[in-house]
Structure 1
Amino acid sequence: MYRIDLNCDMGEGFGPYQLGVDSELIKHITSANIACGFHAGDAATIRRTVQLALQYDVAIGAHPGLPDLAGFGRRKMEISSREAYEMTVYQLGAVMAFATSEGGKVAHIKPHGALYNMAAVEPKLATAIAEAVYKVDGNMMLYGLSGSELIRAGERIGLKTMNEVFADRSYEDDGTLTPRGVEGALLTNSNLAAAQVVSMVKSGTVRTRLGNILQLKADTVCVHGDTPGALGHVMKLRELLLQSEIRILKSGEH
Structure 2
Amino acid sequence: MAIGAKGAKSRSGGPSERAEGAERAGGAEVTDAAEHSRGSGLAAGLEADRALLGRTSTAERVADILRDRIAEGFFPPGTRLSEDSVGGALGVSRNTLREAFRLLTHERLLVHELNRGVFVRVLTVDDLNDIYRVRRLVECAAVRGLGEPPYAVEAVEAAVLAGERAAQDRAWQDLSTANIRFHQAIVSLAGSPRADELMRGVLAELRLVFHIMADPRRFHAPYLVRNRQILEVLQGGDAVEAERLLASYLDDSQGQLADAYGRKMSRR
> TM-score, normalization: structure 1?
0.23
Greater gyration radius? 2
> TM-score, normalization: structure 2?
0.22
Structure (1 or 2) with the greater strand fraction? 1
Structure (1 or 2) with the greater helix fraction? 2
